């Protein structure tokens, strides 16, 4: 009883505290999680000393490129403009859910050159004011606020960090909840709760901004994710901060043990192996330093590539104005105007009460950038990495800095750029090989349990490889079973028994990328190059069949709704129909899928309607400033009426127009014991590859490695 009061008081104090701590600090360093508990404190002592992390305050940063994100000063300016606006002055309650640069119109950006005066700076603000959602265009110069009409849409904006935090406290206000927790054998001090987006399934999720809170025990482990209080779900109204409903259908399900769940290095003392030789130190070394430059904080220049890079609270990172200097003409050529992770869709495959709604859309619901935490130097990125900070706005509009949110580094794996040896057939003494060096832009979003590592890898041959790695911790389900031999029918588990009482539930991950390709200019076409078997005519050839490539240009959007087929293969080119190579091929880039997975849910299932942007692997739409987020601008609790699928259904013309390519990378994840208690990274990727974009191999002239140029290294301990 006393404890509960204490906790309520503590919650209030902390909530008040949270409102103030977002200034000039990155969020995770604040103790804004409600469990100030003994386990964490004790374990804290065992932590290794924190590694060096350079912190920049960014108060004096100035924008220098039209696409530069809002600076600290600009966020402050937005806040002072907005909060003095009539709408806010009379408001009882408001929160800013998004404060980002309103990018200038594309033609203005394309016309802008380095040295030109900066284009007028505007901010795009999404706010909740007294229960209503407002989109505003804020002119930073004049201070003018323009209300943007986004029409009647069903969803809500991305949650604020404060929304998520508050939601995790709210259940504690309920005596019923507290009693239930104690009845399940969990000390309230050990409680850790997560805010889980509700999705939309009909009336129950309409007209109120709801979140479902589920809780865990963090007794004896920091990896509370492995200790769910199964079946206990609290529905919280995020606007009123009230408990709407508590359901508990897991009373008989034990809470899995803490044993073997800890993953931190400091807690691995017992994992010392005598028969396994440790790996000697290994490092990518660049004695003359990295070869890329970062100009004015955001322009990255490396080898033939130039592009603008910025952190974004929703997309994570945004690559803009990617251009490649043609080695033959030395001309800087446009490749992509803008590329980013647009939306994610992560449906879990368990239809039961505490699980059916877990169909996350991480970018639009949680913010793929808001959850991208500081990268760990030497482990998340190699030595010589450059770290870029994110400047975001808290719910009250104050700026805060997410340190080291993005890293940029050169990678050399030992791979080969190109090679040829003359074979014993000719016996000529030729042995030519070139090392492959790439530039990687990386961020890692920790959307609660899961970690998504997103790499944009730029190659000297013009290829851009987009790789997504999945790591972090599974979302697991508790069960009374401790061995599969107790399960009457294997298939009813909805997943794999990973440890005693722990099921890893089957789920999918889809990440849909927005790729505004501008191949040598904005007007492009989408061409399918289909390979089909041709039968030869009798007497034509000793062969009866061969493959023939047929090119067809997509006229409208529906021509470009692509499901990949192994037995009906195509290449997918974005070409510039107005520019040809010397021998007459249209210049282009192709999207090259690698391993992927398709969504198999019922098209009419509510989550699939909301995630309908995964109905195809490839889509092409005409460029439209308002169509950037594949699940819609407001995906939280949306009904799915404003997705890429609905836009594409309009079947607009896309030939020889400014077009946007969308690609969805998918994973089916049937968990296995190796994923317990933390998952080794699983990756997949796709590439954008020049196809007749260059007259010839663009890395023909690159030099090989010579011994004399490589570094001379010593072990650190033996170095002076």
Based on its alpha-carbon atoms, the radius of gyration of the chain, rounded to whole angstroms, reads 27
- 3-class SS of residue 163: helix
Alpha carbon of residue 667 to chain centroid: 14
Catalytic residue among 68, 163, 350, 362: 362
Q: Is 450 a catalytic residue?
A: yes
| Angstrom distance (rounded) from CA 660 to CA 628 | 9
Q: Residue 376 contacts by C-beta under 8 Å, 6 or more apart in sequence?
A: 51
Shortest distance, CB of residue 364 to a copy of itself, whole angstroms? 16
If the CB atoms of residues 148 and 547 are measured against a copy of itself, the closer one turns out to be: 547
Shortest distance, CB of residue 251 to a copy of itself, whole angstroms? 20
Catalytic residue among 216, 337, 450, 636: 450
Shortest distance, CB of residue 201 to a copy of itself, whole angstroms? 4
Residues facing residue 502 across a β-bridge: 478, 499
Nearest to 179 by CA among 234, 222, 221: 234
Shortest distance, CB of residue 537 to a copy of itself, whole angstroms? 9
| Angstrom distance (rounded) from CA 274 to CA 284 | 28
Alpha carbon of residue 597 to chain centroid: 17
DSSP state of 486: G
What are the φ/ψ torsions at residue 319 (nearest 5 degrees)? -100, 130
If the CB atoms of residues 81 and 373 are measured against a copy of itself, the closer one turns out to be: 373
If the CB atoms of residues 488 and 680 are measured against a copy of itself, the closer one turns out to be: 680
Any idea of the CA torsion for 504, 510, 511, 516, to the nearest 10 degrees?
Answer: 180
Q: Is 362 a catalytic residue?
A: yes
| Angstrom distance (rounded) from CA 675 to CA 226 | 11
Shortest distance, CB of residue 137 to a copy of itself, whole angstroms? 27
Angle (CA) 57 62 64, round 5°: 140
The two tokens of residue 580 are 């040809």
If the CB atoms of residues 66 and 586 are measured against a copy of itself, the closer one turns out to be: 586
If the CB atoms of residues 150 and 699 are measured against a copy of itself, the closer one turns out to be: 699
If the CB atoms of residues 320 and 403 are measured against a copy of itself, the closer one turns out to be: 403
If the CB atoms of residues 64 and 673 are measured against a copy of itself, the closer one turns out to be: 673
Residues facing residue 94 across a β-bridge: 129
If the CB atoms of residues 127 and 375 are measured against a copy of itself, the closer one turns out to be: 375
Beta strand pairing status for 502-505 and 586-593? unpaired
- 3-class SS of residue 641: coil
Shortest distance, CB of residue 447 to a copy of itself, whole angstroms? 7
| Angstrom distance (rounded) from CA 99 to CA 124 | 6
If the CB atoms of residues 496 and 621 are measured against a copy of itself, the closer one turns out to be: 496
The two tokens of residue 371 are 């959850």
Shortest distance, CB of residue 328 to a copy of itself, whole angstroms? 9
- 3-class SS of residue 497: strand
CA distance between the termini of the chain: 62
Q: Do residues 316 and 445 touch, judged by C-beta distance below 8 A?
A: yes
Q: Do residues 356 and 616 touch, judged by C-beta distance below 8 A?
A: no
Tokens 């994973």 belong to 667
Neighbours of 447 (CB within 10 A): 20
Shortest distance, CB of residue 622 to a copy of itself, whole angstroms? 26
If the CB atoms of residues 151 and 281 are measured against a copy of itself, the closer one turns out to be: 281
Residues facing residue 574 across a β-bridge: 526, 589
Shortest distance, CB of residue 66 to a copy of itself, whole angstroms? 23
Nearest to 133 by CA among 160, 164, 170: 160
Instruction: Measure Cα distances from 155 to 152, 364, 553, 633, 642 in Å.
Output: 9, 10, 36, 8, 9
Shortest distance, CB of residue 349 to a copy of itself, whole angstroms? 4
Neighbours of 238 (CB within 10 A): 24
Nearest to 291 by CA among 111, 121, 438: 438
Question: Which amino acids are annotated catalytic?
Answer: 362, 450
């Amino acid at each position: 009883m006393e404890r509960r009061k204490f906790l309520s008081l503590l919650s209030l104090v902390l909530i008040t505290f949270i409102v103030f701590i977002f200034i000039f600090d990155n969020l995770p360093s604040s103790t804004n999680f409600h469990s100030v508990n003994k386990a964490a404190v004790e374990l804290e002592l065992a932590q290794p000393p924190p590694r060096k992390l350079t912190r920049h305050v960014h108060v004096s940063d100035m924008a220098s490129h039209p696409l530069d994100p809002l600076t600290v000063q600009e966020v402050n300016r937005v806040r002072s403009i907005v909060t003095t606006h009539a709408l806010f002055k009379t408001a009882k309650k408001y929160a800013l859910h998004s404060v980002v640069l309103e990018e200038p119109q594309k033609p203005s950006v394309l016309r802008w050159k380095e040295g030109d005066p900066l284009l007028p700076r505007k901010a795009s603000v999404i706010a909740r004011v007294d229960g209503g959602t407002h989109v505003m265009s804020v002119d930073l110069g004049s201070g003018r606020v323009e209300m943007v009409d986004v029409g009647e849409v069903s969803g809500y904006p991305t949650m604020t960090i404060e929304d998520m935090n508050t939601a995790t406290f709210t259940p504690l206000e309920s005596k019923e909840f507290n009693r239930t927790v104690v009845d399940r054998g969990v000390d309230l001090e050990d409680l850790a709760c997560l805010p889980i987006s509700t999705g939309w399934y009909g009336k129950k999720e309409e007209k109120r901004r709801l979140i479902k809170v589920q809780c865990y025990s963090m007794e004896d482990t920091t990896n509370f994710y492995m200790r769910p209080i199964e079946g206990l779900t609290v529905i919280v109204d995020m606007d009123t901060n009230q408990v709407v409903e508590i359901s508990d259908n897991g009373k008989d399900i034990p809470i899995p043990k803490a044993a073997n769940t800890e993953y931190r290095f400091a807690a691995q003392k017992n994992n010392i192996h005598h028969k396994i030789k440790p790996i000697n130190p290994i490092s990518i070394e660049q004695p003359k330093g990295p070869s890329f430059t970062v100009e004015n904080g955001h322009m990255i220049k490396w080898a033939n590539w130039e592009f603008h890079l910025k952190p974004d609270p929703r997309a994570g990172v945004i690559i803009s104005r990617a251009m490649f200097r043609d080695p033959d003409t030395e001309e800087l050529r446009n490749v992509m105007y803008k590329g980013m992770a647009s939306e994610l869709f992560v449906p879990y495959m368990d239809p039961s009460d505490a699980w059916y709604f877990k169909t996350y859309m991480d970018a639009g619901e949680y913010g793929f950038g808001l959850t991208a935490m500081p990268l760990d130097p030497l482990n998340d990125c190699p030595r010589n990495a450059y770290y870029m900070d994110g400047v975001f706005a808290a719910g009250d509009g104050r700026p805060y800095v997410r340190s080291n949110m993005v890293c940029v580094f050169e990678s050399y794996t030992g791979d080969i750029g190109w090679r040829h040896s003359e074979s014993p057939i000719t016996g000529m003494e030729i042995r030519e090989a070139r090392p492959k060096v790439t530039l990687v832009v990386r961020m890692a979003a920790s959307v609660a349990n899961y970690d998504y590592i997103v790499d944009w890898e730029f190659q000297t041959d013009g290829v851009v490889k987009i790789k997504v790695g999945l790591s972090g911790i599974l979302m697991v389900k508790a069960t009374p079973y401790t061995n599969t031999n107790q399960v009457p029918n294997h298939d009813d588990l909805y997943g794999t028994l990973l440890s005693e009482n722990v099921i890893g539930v089957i789920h999918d991950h889809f990440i849909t990328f927005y790729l505004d390709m501008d191949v040598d200019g904005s007007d492009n076409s989408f061409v399918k190059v289909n390979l089909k078997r041709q039968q030869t005519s009798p007497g034509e050839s000793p062969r009866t069949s061969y493959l023939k490539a047929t090119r067809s240009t997509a006229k409208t959007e529906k021509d470009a709704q692509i499901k990949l087929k192994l037995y009906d293969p195509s290449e997918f080119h974005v070409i510039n129909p107005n520019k040809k190579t010397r021998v007459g091929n249209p210049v282009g880039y192709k999207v090259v899928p690698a391993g992927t997975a398709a969504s198999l849910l019922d098209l009419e299932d509510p989550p699939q309607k909301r995630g309908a942007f995964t109905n195809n692997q490839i889509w092409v739409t005409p460029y439209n400033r308002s169509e950037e987020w594949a699940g819609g601008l407001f995906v939280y609790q949306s009904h799915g009426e404003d997705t890429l699928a609905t836009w594409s259904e309009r079947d607009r013309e896309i030939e020889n127009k400014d077009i946007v390519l969308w690609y969805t990378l998918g994973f089916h994840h049937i968990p296995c014991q190796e994923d317990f208690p933390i998952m080794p990274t699983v990756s997949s990727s796709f590439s954008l590859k020049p196809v007749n974009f260059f007259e010839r191999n663009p890395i023909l002239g690159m030099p090989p490695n010579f011994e004399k140029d490589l570094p001379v290294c010593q072990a650190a301990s033996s170095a002076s």
